[in-house]
Amino acid sequence: RKDTFCRLVVLENIINVYHEKIKRTLSNTNIENQMTIVATEIINRQYERNDHFSTEISDMLDTSLVTIFVLIPRKLTIYMQKLIFRICYSNVIFDSCAIENDIDGQQFDVMSISINGQLPLLRVQKLLQSHQLIIVDLPNNIKTEILNTEQKLRNYEVTLNYSQLRVQNLLFTTSGLIDQIARFVGEEISIVNCLNKFRQSEYKCECECWIPTSTTQLIKQTINNINANIQSQCVLTEIETEKRPPTFYSTNKFTQVFHSIVTNYGQPSYQEINPAYFYLYQFAFTYSVMFGDAGHGIINALVGFMLIVFEKKIEKLNNDMIELIYFGRYLVFQMSIYSIITGFMYNDFFSLGFNLFGSNYKFKAVPNQNRAIAEFNGVYNFGVDPYWHWCNQSMPFLNSYKMKMSVIIGVTQMLFGLMIKLINLLKQKKKHVIFTSWIPEFLFMFS
């Protein structure tokens, strides 16, 4: 499997280099072919204006009048004509023709320069070379050269198509090994990243790490199993250190989301009370006090339940938004259950009141008046009496009720947190922190 993967990597690199080379050759050949065709058009136009010229290029080259062809950006054509006109002392003939297809996103022209004499020719060639312009070497038989160039293009296209077909066949035969190759590459990356943390010497590799005490025996047993199958030996040695060990908490798929909430504010140390255990019920209940709608809570509970039921399939999806919701699936489900309970306490279902047990208010009409008197017959069985949703004071009463309830629960929760902090400080014997931090916090909250 490893040899197959290595051969695939090498073959892929060779094919990529070969493709780039063919594409560059095709591009250059296309440019040369276009320049040759345009240069031929220029020569034909010159022949039409000058009947005394020969129809063969070789006849023109034998005379003292030398013609060169240059590929030049269209925006520099006028500029170069002025420069060449001056350095040749007006003894020069220009002609130009545009290339239809753009080259690298720029428009180019093929310009012919007819010069009389070798010294002006050398000056013009140095000027063109200083501007890094391409001088076209025009062959004697243009038509034959065009045919040869077109044949090369066809040969290159056949070669490119064959190489693409070869790549497709190779990928088709190895497509069934993609998962195995990806797994192999992932294992190799993990091994290399782990080995990079080792200190290497002439005869050994060593590293220092922290491991949970509960897993020491399991690690030793694993090392013994590895030593039985290899020539070199792995040794686990416990060393003494004055460094403070990192905090390790064993979590599962249900408690990890609550522990992550705690670690956002700070990592608990050893011998401290971990507030994550209290978050298991307090966080969801505090949210439900604010939310408090049985209808919306049922919808969210169904979403959380589906995330839990299909967690193995959702785990394989590579999506950041889904991954965030998936990580807190148990928290979403728990908050939804508490929201349903508080929704019944608030008698709130999709922001509407419902009458489950009837009302404890009995209304009696006042004779000769357009009003009624409500007689109270005791505390409602559970939650808020439904008649409060239909009276004129519905919003002020319910908002005040929810606000006061949230304040009472919030202050109680903060007081509970302060008590946990006091216990931790007493355990750690940090009396100065109690006087400088805990007491001011306590007085500030209850002042």
Q: Is 418 within the bounds of a domain?
A: yes
* Among the ranges given (1-10, 163-172, 191-200, 278-287), the one the predictor scored with the smallest mean pLDDT: 1-10
Q: Which of 139, 156, 173 lies at the terminal end of a domain, its last residue? A: 156
| C-alpha–C-alpha distance, residues 348 and 354, integer Å | 7
Which one is predicted more confidently, 412 or 64?
A: 412
Terminal alpha carbon distance of the chain: 71
Specify the amino acid at residue 187.
E
Q: What pLDDT is recorded for position 44?
A: 59
Domain of residue 274: give its range: 256-296+333-446
Residue at token pair 């306490």: 345
54 pLDDT tier (thresholds 50, 70, 90): very low
- End position of a domain, from candidates 104, 122, 156: 156
Specify the pLDDT at position 43: 57
Q: Does residue 135 lie within any of the structural domains?
A: yes
User: Percentage of the chain with pLDDT > 70?
Assistant: 84
The per-residue pLDDT of the chain, averaged, comes to 78
**Which among 285, 277, 223 has a CA at the least distance from the CA of 250?**
277
Task: Check pLDDT > 60 for residue 12.
Answer: no
Task: Name the pTM for this structure.
Answer: 0.52
Q: What is the pLDDT of residues 19-36, one digit of tens each?
A: 555 555 545 555 555 555
Considering the domain boundaries, does residue 149 fall inside one?
A: yes
The CATH number assigned to the domain holding 11 equals 3.30.70.100
Q: Which whole number is the average pLDDT over 141-154?
A: 76
- Asked if the structure places residue 162 within a domain, the reply is no
My answer on whether 150 and 266 are in the same domain is no
Among residues 129, 156, 183, the one where a domain terminates is: 156
pLDDT, tens digit (0-9, with 9 covering 90-100), for 339-367: 999 888 888 888 777 777 777 777 777 77
Span 165-182, mean pLDDT? 81
Q: Are residues 284 and 421 in the same domain?
A: yes
d(CA 296, CA 340) in angstroms, rounded, equals 8
Q: How confident is the model at residue 303 (pLDDT cuts 50, 70, 90)?
A: very high
Residue 45 in any domain: the answer is: yes
Backbone angles phi, psi at 231, to 5 degrees: -80, -45
In this structure, the answer to whether residues 281 and 395 fall within a common structural domain is yes
User: How far is CA 162 from its chain centroid?
Assistant: 35
Least confident segment among 113-117, 253-257, 300-304: 113-117
Residues 297, 289 contacting (CB under 8 angstroms): no
Count of domains forming the chain: 2
For residue 52, what pLDDT is reported?
43
Q: Is residue 94, in this structure, part of any structural domain at all?
A: yes
The predicted model gives 313-317 an average pLDDT of 83
